[in-house]
């Protein structure tokens, strides 16, 4: 153990003593030695240097401008291509229009469908009802512009009376069907009337709707599903149908006068351009009362 001398009495005292045992003077403990260590902070690594942000931003702006320039060039090229295509189509259509104007219209003679009709058995009291015909008139238009890939159809319908006079069929509808009339009525499971054909049976049902109302109703419902185009004749017996798709159709029409009727049902082939359907005069089937 270390010893020190008491400053008061000079007695030797242990360094660990709090006071001098001889004189009682308190002894101050020696001040501990403080060692100072300098701690150097290690530099932090953020993982992404800030100086890189500026070059990336500049590069992004350059890329955006390049994309805008490329898109604008593509739009200009597309517009140029559309203009060239339109100009080519116009030049191509001109000679076709010229050829269409000079070509004669397609003329089709449609035979009449007149046959011998068996008169129906008269009911106990059956006054012949009046059958109102359509009054809508579609005048023919011979000077019309027809698209190159479409067709126009003019129907000229006439009937022959019992006395042999030829008359125009006025204010009657004519139809272009996608199926033959007899086949349509047969598919509807309709039975012929009085041994007549299905087409003439339909004529009888139109002439006598009070007797054959069921047949007339079912026949009209079946025919309506196959109508592609229709038109009504004017005072001159002509009807015009525009914008017809060239194809094969079945012409159908019916007219009545007092106790007689006539039915047209024939296949026709419609070509692009103008088509004229001349219906040969159909003889009226007169029914004895």
- In terms of domains, do 217 and 128 share one? yes
Output the pLDDT for position 8. 80
- In terms of domains, do 242 and 191 share one? yes
> Tens digits of per-residue pLDDT, 21-71?
888 788 766 556 667 777 766 666 556 667 778 888 888 999 998 889 888
pLDDT at position 87 over 80: no
- In terms of domains, do 92 and 187 share one? no
Helix or strand run (H / E) with residue 14: strand 12-14
- Measured CA to CA, the distance from residue 248 to residue 228 in angstroms comes to 11
Question: Domain of 187?
Answer: 106-286
Phi then psi for residue 215, to 5 deg, are -65, -45
User: Based on the number of CB atoms within 10 Å of its own CB, is 259 exposed (0-12), middle (13-18) or buried (19 or more)?
Assistant: middle
Please say which residue of 101, 128, 158 terminates a domain: 101
CB 181 within 8 A of CB 174: no
Partner residues linked to 257 by β-bridges: 260
Output the pLDDT for position 91. 54
> Tens digits of per-residue pLDDT, 137-189?
334 444 445 566 899 999 999 888 777 788 888 999 999 999 999 999 999 89
- In terms of domains, do 263 and 140 share one? yes
> Tens digits of per-residue pLDDT, 178-211?
999 999 999 989 899 888 889 888 988 898 889 8
Residues 6 or more apart whose Cβ sits within 8 Å of residue 14:
1, 2, 3, 4
Partner residues linked to 166 by β-bridges: 160
Residues 6 or more apart whose Cβ sits within 8 Å of residue 83:
none
Q: Confidence band (pLDDT; 50, 70, 90) for 257?
A: confident
Residue 180 inside a domain? The answer is yes
- In terms of domains, do 76 and 178 share one? no
- pTM equals 0.53
Residue 116 inside a domain? The answer is yes
Spatial CA neighbour of 85 closest among 95, 93, 75: 93
- In terms of domains, do 94 and 175 share one? no
- In terms of domains, do 87 and 210 share one? no
Please say which residue of 49, 69, 101 terminates a domain: 101
- In terms of domains, do 90 and 130 share one? no
- Measured CA to CA, the distance from residue 122 to residue 133 in angstroms comes to 24
- Measured CA to CA, the distance from residue 21 to residue 47 in angstroms comes to 67
Residue 30 inside a domain? The answer is no
DSSP annotation of 19: B
Q: Within the chain, what is the greatest distance between any pair of CA atoms?
A: 177
- CATH number of the domain within which 118 lies: 2.60.40.10
- In terms of domains, do 162 and 81 share one? no
Residue 19 inside a domain? The answer is no
Contacts 24+ apart (CB under 8 A), 23-29: none
């Amino acid at each position: 153990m270390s010893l020190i001398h008491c400053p008061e009495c000079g007695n030797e005292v242990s360094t660990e003593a709090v006071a001098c045992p001889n004189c009682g003077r308190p002894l101050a403990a020696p001040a501990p030695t403080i060692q100072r260590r300098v701690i150097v902070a290690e530099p932090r690594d953020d993982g992404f240097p800030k100086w890189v942000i500026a070059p990336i931003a500049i590069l992004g702006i350059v890329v955006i401008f390049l994309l805008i320039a490329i898109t604008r060039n593509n739009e200009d090229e597309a517009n140029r291509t559309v203009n060239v295509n339109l100009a080519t189509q116009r030049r191509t259509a001109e000679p076709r229009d010229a050829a269409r104007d000079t070509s004669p219209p397609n003329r089709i003679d449609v035979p009449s469908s007149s046959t011998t009709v068996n008169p129906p058995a008269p009911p106990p009291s059956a006054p012949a009802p009046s059958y109102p015909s359509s009054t809508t008139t579609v005048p023919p238009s011979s000077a019309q512009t027809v698209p190159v890939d479409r067709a126009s159809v003019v129907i000229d319908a006439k009937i022959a009376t019992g006395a042999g006079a030829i008359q125009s069929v006025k204010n009657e509808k004519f139809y272009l069907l996608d199926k033959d009339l007899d086949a349509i009525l047969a598919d509807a499971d309709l039975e012929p009337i009085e041994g007549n054909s299905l087409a003439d049976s339909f004529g009888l049902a139109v002439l006598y709707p009070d007797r054959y109302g069921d047949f007339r109703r079912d026949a009209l419902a079946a025919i309506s599903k196959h109508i592609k185009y229709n038109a009504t004749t004017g005072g001159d017996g002509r009807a015009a149908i525009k914008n017809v798709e060239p194809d094969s159709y079945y012409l159908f029409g019916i007219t009545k006068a007092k106790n007689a009727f006539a039915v047209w049902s024939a296949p026709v082939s419609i070509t692009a351009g103008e088509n004229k359907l001349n219906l040969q005069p159909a003889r009226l089937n007169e029914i004895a009362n």
